[in-house]
Amino acid sequence: MARNLEQKVTTNFTLGELVASGSAERDTDLLAQQHDPPNDVVKNLKYLCKKVLQPLRDEFDFPIEVTSGYRCVELNSSVGGAPSSQHIVGQAADCRVSSRFLTDAATKATRTKIEEEIRLRTGRPVRKDVNANFYLFAKVCLDLNKYDIDQAIHEYGDGPGRPGWVHLAASKGQDRRQILRLGRGVPQEQRRLDVTSALALGTKPKRPTAAAARSAAAETVRTGSYSGQFSVVDGTVVRLRVTAIGVGQFEVVTSPAKLVPGAAGGGAVYDLTVTGSEGAVTRVIVTGVFPAAEERRGGYRIEVGPVGGPVTETLAIIESSSSTYPKRQARTLEFVAA
């Protein structure tokens, strides 16, 4: 029995949208395969819609177009897709948003909220020339856990912040929370992104002063594996510990703001307890303060571990090596219930 392509997978997405292909339309046999996905593929498409596409559509309150969803093996090969592409098993969709999103009065609040989140995370405003697809990409990057994102890709287009489409993948079996940028001329080492660098693709670059350039040459910053986001399993409690290094000081801003000074030799400690709760998000901003005239090393270390137990992960080490180091170096942590 042929599949009912008019079947609604979720409120705003039909099975037909998720298997449509202009390339397959040119070949009757290929089109027949494309329009009759296996049952396990249909289940995967339903999961993708339920966890990613429909929630995004609801939050944007604006249409999201699927340009390529499921691809049968033959179609995937004919369009040059990777042999291991998640499109083949119905776990991925390439999506785009109409440019009307940028001017529609009804979407202004959504755009403003995303822009504010980006400014908070990067310290920089969103550029005026970003396209509508970037807002979709940014929203997903800000909420990887919420949408159970396995992979989000800023694909092609005409530059950073202007993707031609956004690849979104999700499945019950994988949760890599991977962010990539693919396109002509993008070096291999710049393809893998953390949340902050992904958001920065759509921001205005800071113009370094001559003094800042000299400072950059002398400073040492080690960020380790810190990406700006840390999951807290629902119902569990973890401890965020910030420790001063050398003569460094730091500010931990939650609510209300709190300043914890570091003495010479380091060791000032601030502990914050975070409890995982479904749907809850706790944001913490840690800002290092380094004396301009101080020659000794200073900085701070951010660690996570169970309450009353040892450190299990170091999220970041921010450290100065000279008096020319900038006075402040901010990092934003976002705790999301897993």
Tokens of 223: 């960020």
Residue 148: pLDDT over 60 = yes
How many C-alpha atoms does 286 have within 13 Å on its Cβ side?
Answer: 28
Share of the chain above pLDDT 90, in %: 50
Query: pLDDT band at residue 292, thresholds of 50, 70 and 90?
Result: very low
Q: How many domains does the chain have?
A: 2
DSSP 49: I
Diameter of the chain measured on Cα atoms: 78
The answer to whether residues 257 and 157 belong to one domain is: no
The pairing of beta strand 178-182 with beta strand 151-155: parallel
Question: What is the distance between the alpha carbons of residues 74 and 33, in angstroms, rounded to a whole number?
Answer: 9
Single out the residue of 105, 222, 90 nearest to residue 169, CA to CA. 90
Give one word for 156, left, alpha or beta, with left for phi > 0 and alpha for psi -120 to 50. left
Boundary residue ending a domain (146, 173, 202): 202
Give the range of the structural domain holding residue 310, as residue numbers without chain letter: 210-337
Mean per-residue pLDDT for 60-67? Answer: 96
In a domain, 2, yes or no: no
Mean pLDDT, the chain, whole residue set: 76
Query: Is the predicted pLDDT of residue 277 greater than 90, yes or no?
Result: no
What is the value of pTM for the model shown? Answer: 0.63
Residue 243 inside a domain? The answer is yes
**Is residue 192 in some structural domain?**
yes
Is a pLDDT exceeding 50 seen at residue 255? no
Torsion of CA 3, 170, 53, 129, to 10 degrees: -130
Q: Is 289 exposed, middle or buried (0-12, 13-18, 19+ CB in 10 A)?
A: middle
Range with the poorest average pLDDT among 87-91, 304-308, 319-323: 319-323
**String of b and e for 273-286 (b: at least 16 CB within 10 Å)?**
ebebeeeeebebeb
Domain termination site, one of 168, 202, 236: 202
Residues 220, 122 share a domain: no
Distances (CA, A) of 290 to 55, 269, 319: 43, 16, 9
Torsion over CA: 257, 332, 145, 237 (sign): negative
Q: What is the mean pLDDT of residues 234-252?
A: 57
pLDDT exceeds cutoff 60 at 191: yes
- Predicted confidence at residue 187, as pLDDT, reads 84
**What was the pLDDT predicted at 215?**
43
Same domain, 327 and 226: yes
∠ CA 25-30-31, rounded to 5°: 45
Band of the pLDDT at 140, cuts 50, 70, 90?
A: very high
Q: Mind listing the pLDDT tens digit for each residue in 216-242?
A: 433 333 322 223 344 445 555 556 666
Q: What is the mean pLDDT of residues 61-88?
A: 94
Same structural domain for residues 157 and 218?
no
Same domain as 25, residue 145:
yes
Read off the pLDDT band of 190 (50, 70, 90).
confident
- Given a cut of 60, whether residue 144 has pLDDT beyond it is yes
Q: At what angle do helices 132-142 and 108-122 cross, to 10 degrees?
A: 60
Helix (H/G/I), strand (E/B), else coil: 234: coil
pLDDT at 3: 86
Q: 192 and 119: one domain?
A: yes
Q: Do 162 and 263 reside in the same domain of the chain?
A: no
Tokens standing for residue 47: 């999961």
Rounded Cα distance between 263 and 96, Å, is 52
What number is the average pLDDT over the span 76-83?
89
> Does residue 135 share a domain with residue 68?
yes
1 domain-assigned? no
Q: Which one of 202, 234, 249 terminates a domain? A: 202
Residue 116 identity: E
Residue 337 pLDDT exceeds 50: no
Q: How many CB atoms lie within 10 A of CB 249?
A: 19
Which class for 338: exposed (0-12), middle (13-18), buried (19 or more C-beta within 10 A)?
middle
> Looking at residue 266, what is its pLDDT?
47
My answer on whether 180 and 215 are in the same domain is no
The CATH number of whichever domain residue 64 belongs to comes to 3.30.1380.10
Distance CA 86, CA 92 (A): 5
Phi, then psi, of 34 in degrees rounded to 5 = -65, -35
> Based on the domain organization, do 183 and 287 belong to the same domain?
no
Q: Are residues 176 and 119 part of one domain? A: yes
Give the pLDDT score at 206: 66
Looking at residue 309, its pLDDT comes to 61
**Residue 194 is assigned to a structural domain of this protein:** yes
**Residue 184, domain member (yes or no):** yes
Q: How confident is the model at residue 173 (pLDDT cuts 50, 70, 90)?
A: confident
Contacts of 44 (CB under 8 A, 6+ apart): 89, 90, 91, 171
Residue 259 located in a structural domain: yes
- For 151-167, what is the mean pLDDT? 95
pLDDT for 16-48, tens place per residue?
999 999 889 889 999 999 999 999 999 999 999
Indicate whether 264 belongs to any domain: yes
Q: Please answer whether residues 269 and 243 qualify as being in contact, where contact means their C-beta atoms are separated by less than 8 angstroms.
A: yes
Does residue 282 sit in the same domain as residue 224? yes
165, pLDDT greater than 70: yes
Give pLDDT, residue 135: 98
Residue 79 or 100, more confident: 100
CA angle, 148 then 154 then 157, to 5°:
150
